[in-house]
Structure 1
Amino acid sequence: MNGTPPAPAEWDAEHAVSAAQAAALVGGRFPALRGLAVEPLANGWDNTVFLVGGRWVFRFPRREIALPGVRREIDHLPGLARRLPLPIPVPEFVGEPADGFPWPFWGARLVPGRELAEAGLPEAARVEAAADAGAFLRALHDPGAAAEAGVGLPRDPFRRGDPSVRAPMARERLDRLTGRGLWSPDPATEDVLAEGETLGPSTGDGVDRVCHGDLHPRHLLVDADGRASGVIDWGDLCVADPAVDLSLAYGAFVGEARAAMLAAYGPVSRERELRARVLAVFICAALAEYAASSGHVRLLEESLKGIRRASGD
């Protein structure tokens, strides 16, 4: 109907914090940071992110659904950071609701680097970053991490390790991308989804590990030399089948780079690989929809490539 406003997108903010409001919230709660420059750094589905004083990164939730993840980050990231070979954000400033902002927020030291999705690295230049990511996940998925830092984490709350859930969701997103002229149906991708759909949920059975939960090319940072420099955005931290994080191997890397990541990580069964591939298709399709709607040209290109990577060698 003419004049009817469009329905909100799933990533639209319920509370979008401006730089001025962020400065007031940070300065009001943390006097040592008052008066420092506050610059927009990034927007995601769940958080608006600002750089404060050139060295502190503050995350403000955009949607109420993100709040459990905010609390998990505050509670669990300090313990995890000590076990991991790459930097991750460690909340050092925790702010409570104030001045019209209804939710907690937190700040950590800046983790240097650029999102892999924005770095523009060609496939052949991703080998070192992939190997670094594999070693990182090997440490994160170590049983000791689950024993030390995994207590109280939910088990795969969004069923990302269940291809019978994620394959239909991936098809819905691929259909919408096709309708926008951004994707052409691909038999290899459908074969991965169809095969994966025959798997039920992972039962755990002693293989659950601490997982980042949403590991993709926006959350892996790389430096100017193409090495991995950090892993950010831990709002989906959980315990789950390791396939949930290994989706990065199939959505972000291919060929020699993927082989390097898996060599650094360790053996991956065919079933776990299939779970990871299905999730990679879903995540990359979701990122492509977001990128197309928000004008992230490089992210769109990376995400569409990622869909095809997920069904390739």
Structure 2
Amino acid sequence: MTAVNGSAPAPAEWDAEHAVHAAEAADLVGAQFPALAGAPVEPLATGWDNTVFLVGGRWIFRFPRRAIAVPGVEREIAYLPGLAPHLPLPVPVPELAGRPAGGFPWPFWGARHLPGRELVDAGLPDARRTVAAAGAGAFLRALHDPRLVEEAGAGLPRDPLRRGDPSVRVPMARERLERLAGQGLWEPDEAVTDLLAEGARLGASADRPVVCHGDLHPRHLLVGEDGRAAGVIDWGDLCLADPAVDLSLAYSAFTGPARSAMLSAYGPVNAERELRARVLAVFLCAALAEYAASIGHMAMCRETLTGLRRAVGG
């Protein structure tokens, strides 16, 4: 961030309030889970809200970076063990729940490591994403089964970030797109402008909510070497919401035959739900592109800028 009038730069919204490093992670894990004491600890991934380490080559441990992420970590611990058996793709199942200790102020958890690469890092061209898309569609069909609300999702908050409400997300998307354009990363697109204008006329959905991942974008879909969907990670925004919140993946990550494969595996999506999903796809891609550019993650930046074009395309 740029300093103003010689003052210190304003912190970015993804800056850590407490960034766990490998040595601290090793101390926390070893002290609370003696069977893993002395196991190798390797950085695996960092996001806006959490830092993830691979421990002993078999476990992933997820540590919040910001206080705002703590309720999400607590939801993952509480709900993912009950959700996992209902889903056709692997998801992280917290088996080891860690407590605040040694100066680290928040809970954390450990789960068995899921093989696969984030879609943003897999390098798959659009033409080779059909099988991943079909797997994602079948996964969301199972996750969005209305019966799952009572069986494994009772008590979840209802769309706390209002991601299914285009009247909220449209102005946020416009702000981020303006910043991307100012950085020379994105050239304003009339199709995106028109989509956001159409979406701005919609408010919150009146449809019955379903269990939603809540933040499903190309970083959170894992794919295997064969290009198939291999898992879905990062459930900190797990909630009840309109299915459009997760269906945004169809428009941010896939296009053409791949999108058709995802929607065919999922089931019918009406025009209003599609519009909600496309608007959220624009917002998420713009947010991720801005973040990726700031940390120098060029593969993510390219993927999400391409996602802006997918979101308004066929």
Shorter chain as denominator, the TM-score bin is over 0.9
For residues 252-275 of structure 1, the C-alpha deviation after alignment (integer angstroms, 9 at most, x for no partner) is 000000000000000000000000
Which of the residues 10, 15, 19 maps onto 1:12? 15
Aligned position for 2:291 = 290
Distance in 1 separating the partners of 2:7 and 2:227: 47
Q: Provide, for residues 177-201 of structure 1, a one-character-per-residue CA deviation record: whole Å limited to 9, x for no partner.
A: 0000000010001111111111111
Matched with 2:206 is: 203
Q: What does the per-residue CA deviation read over 1:53-74, in whole Å, with 9 as the maximum and x for residues that have no partner?
A: 0010000000000011011000
Aligned to 2:226: 225
CA distance in 2, matches of 1:19, 1:200: 44
Is residue 47 from structure 1 mapped to residue 50 from structure 2 by the alignment?
A: yes
Matched with 1:154 is 157
* Pairing of 1:99-114 with structure 2 (within 5 A): 99-114=102-117
| Inter-partner Cα distance in structure 2 for 1:263 and 1:68 | 34
The residue identity in structure 1 corresponding to 2:246 is: D
Q: Would you identify which runs of 4 or more consecutive aligned residues in structure 1 move more than 3 Å?
A: none
The amino acid that maps onto 1:74 is I
Q: CA deviation at 1:143?
A: 1.1
Q: Which runs of 5 or more structure 2 residues have no equivalent in the other structure? A: none
Aligned amino acid, residue 61 of structure 1 = P
The residue correspondences of 1:54-69 to structure 2 (distance < 5 A) are: 54-69=57-72
Aligned to 2:32: 29
User: Aligned equivalents of 2:257 and 2:5: distance in 1?
Assistant: 52
Unaligned runs of 5+ in 1: none
**Residue 9 of structure 1, CA deviation:** 0.3
Q: Does 1:261 align with 2:259?
A: no
* Cα distance in 2, alignment partners of residues 19 and 171 from structure 1: 37
Shift in Å at residue 3 of structure 1? 4.0
The alpha-carbon deviation at position 281 of structure 1 amounts to 0.0
Greater Cα shift, 141-150 or 86-95: 141-150
> Residue 194 of structure 1 is aligned with which of 194, 197, 211?
197
Q: Which residue of 2 aligns with 1:118?
A: 121
1:261 and 1:4 mapped to 2: Cα distance? Answer: 49
Percent identity between matched residues is 74
Q: CA deviation at 1:144?
A: 1.6
Query: How far is 1:2 from its partner?
Result: 5.5
RMSD of the TM alignment (CA)?
0.7
- How many residues end up aligned between the 2 structures? 311
Partner of 1:135 in structure 2?
138
